[in-house]
Structure 1
Amino acid sequence: MSVIQDQQNRTRAGHVAKGPLRVDSDLLLTHYPGQTDTLVVTFNSAGHGLWTDQPDEFIGMARGADGHHVIAVSDLRRSWYSAPGLQERVVEDIRDFADANGIARIAMLGSSMGGYGALSFAERVGAQAAMGIVPQFSMHPRFNEPRWSELRPGMVEKRLGTLGSYLTGQTRAFCLTGAKDRHDRRHYNMITRRCPVQGYLLKDCGHDLALQLKTMGHLPRLVAAMIAGEDEVFDTILSPLVQRETAASAAESGED
């Protein structure tokens, strides 16, 4: 979903003197300095393959009008954060940054692999809110996810946890999924049944849901509301777009 490194990134965040917080062979954390006591952590998606660029996503929206601190997280192996020691490094770096910079509020954001990252790390770093757009419940082989097979060699099976292991209700968590993609619907059903999240299954939308919401003008408002704790904005914006599942569609996208 690299398209979200869009004109907003270039115009609103491009002038910010970003700097690396961590540069490893499998992990990159980039800091976009801010002026508030809020930190927004964005998790980049897998993009279009292992050998393509993995640009930082959502940066302009995450900084917002107030200029929040932003840390962009890139899993360079597209391992769904399963590479040895990667999860521990992400948690340590975010916690250390928050402690060193007087951060009072943390929010997390991402799409697809990044959505899984936002939801899976939220409680471990003490985030107040997290939004996952078309996230996966898990990439463990037992859940039979057929996509991204070319990235499987970089995943460590025993470290591919489920969101049910990471979300216990300590963070306000939002899961937004497009109803057109049956694989995404299946993950959505598992997430909403097994995790304490506020879920929205949106009609006529697919895996490029973030781009669709941005095109409709909704995404910046949703990101701002998530950061500010204005949860009612989600219902106001998204309720008219929610897919009312029939028994047939629910069965098609149900759990195995």
Structure 2
Amino acid sequence: MKLIYADSDIDVYFRDSNGNAAAITFSNWTRVEPKPLWTDETSKFAAFHVVAKRNHWYQCEGALSAAKLIGDATLRFERIVTLGSSMGGFAAIALAPAIGATRCVAISPQFSSDRTKTPFETRWAEDIAEIAKHGLRIDRSSSITHVLFDPYHRQDASHAALIREAAGAQLWPLKFSGHPSGFALHDLNLMELFIETALSELDDASLFENITRQYEERSRTSATAILNNFKHGDRSYIPTSRDEPIFGNQKVIEQVLALVK
């Protein structure tokens, strides 16, 4: 990957590829060194990876400068898809018009970093308090917007409803997938298919039907979904035997196995 833009707040990396689709990813909130998102999963496509150097929810001048650069660089592509998770999901939707994206796909995004617009949100308070101006916002645009989220996660579900109202987003619920829902998709080895679907020529009305169906059929083997199911006061996902297949992060699997009677 080649660094094509850098300032005090944003880095943009580019990897070219043959084809008529380009992925633009936005990094998520993190307490460790920020890095490009989904580099392996997007390896079949030309990709621009936008990396936030701080947890600023892309409320900075560099975000718009980077979006303009990417917009100019993607004119040769037929399908331009912005992608992100959580904080990066907000950016994928909010910056899609500036980039000229044909589709934006967000996993567990926030509607706004402005707490006056989302009074139900209590997470990331320290980072949010450092944002001086919440100028970047989600509005309706020509980009078709898709949101994947956990309908049982109260805050994420509230954000999703506001995004649907403001941007006409199509919502794809993934029950007990938690925040962000990508962890549960990773458990089930569905992330590569998720990216391929997002960049595909499939009709938007049914775009993620296959993903949501596969997730529903297999979610009881996701360590993330099992643990979230339990946290919601439900034991129906907990395996009846330690021999039943469970997929995911080893530490989370160990937490699930501790619940097995």
Please state which band the TM-score falls in when normalised by the shorter chain. Answer: 0.7 to 0.9
How far off its partner does 1:88 sit? 2.2
Q: Is the Cα–Cα contact under 8 Å of residues 22 and 199 in structure 2 kept in the other structure? A: no
- Spell out the pairing of 1:145-224 with structure 2 (5 A cutoff): 145-161=121-137, 163=138, 165=139, 167-168=140-141, 170-224=142-196
Q: Distance in 2 between matches of 1:37 and 1:201?
A: 29
| Equivalent position amino acid for 2:21 in 1 | T
Residue 132 of structure 1 contacts residue 176 of structure 1 at CA under 8 Å; is this kept in 2? yes
**4+ runs deviating over 3 angstroms:** 239-242
- Segments of 5+ residues of structure 1 without an aligned counterpart are 1-17, 243-248, 250-256
What's the counterpart of residue 139 of structure 1?
113
* 1:39 aligned residue: 22
**Aligned match for 2:38, one of 47, 58, 62:** 58
Q: Which amino acid aligns with 2:124?
A: W
Shift of residue 71, structure 1, vs aligned partner: 0.8
Structure having greater relative contact order (Cα 8 Å, sep ≥ 6): 1
Q: Which amino acid aligns with 1:22?
A: Y
Which of the two has higher C-alpha Rg?
2
- Whole-angstrom CA distance in 1 between matches of 2:189 and 2:54: 32
**What TM-score comes out, normalization by structure 2 length?**
0.75
* TM norm structure 1: 0.76
| 2:91 maps to which of 103, 117, 132 | 117
- Count of residue pairs brought into register by the alignment: 213
- Structure 1 residue aligned with 2:210: 236
**Is this contact kept in 1: 2:103–2:143, CA < 8 A?**
yes
Compared CA separation, residues 205 and 80, structure 1 to 2 (3 A) = same
Output the CA distance in 2 between the equivalents of 1:141 and 1:160.
Answer: 14
- The alpha carbon displacement at 1:233 in A equals 4.6
Q: Distance in 2 between matches of 1:229 and 1:155?
A: 38
Equivalent positions of 1:73-152 (< 5 A) are: 73-83=50-60, 85-99=61-75, 102-142=76-116, 143-144=118-119, 145-152=121-128
Tell me how far 1:62 sits from its aligned partner.
1.8
What secondary structure is seen at the aligned counterpart in 2 of 1:86? helix
Higher relative helix content: 1
Query: In the alignment, does 2:4 pair up with 1:24?
Result: no
Q: 1:113: Cα distance to partner?
A: 0.5
Tell me the distance in 2 between the aligned counterparts of 1:33 and 1:187.
34
* 1:55-93 deviation digits (Å, cap 9, x = unpaired): 2111122233xxx2111111212211112x223212211
Q: Percent identity?
A: 23
CA RMSD of aligned residues (A): 2.1
Partners of 1:140 and 1:160 within 8 A in 2:
no
* 1:192 counterpart letter in structure 2: R
Unaligned runs of 5+ in 2: 218-231, 233-261
Displacement after TM superposition at 1:201 (Å): 1.9
Structure 1 SS opposite 2:54: coil
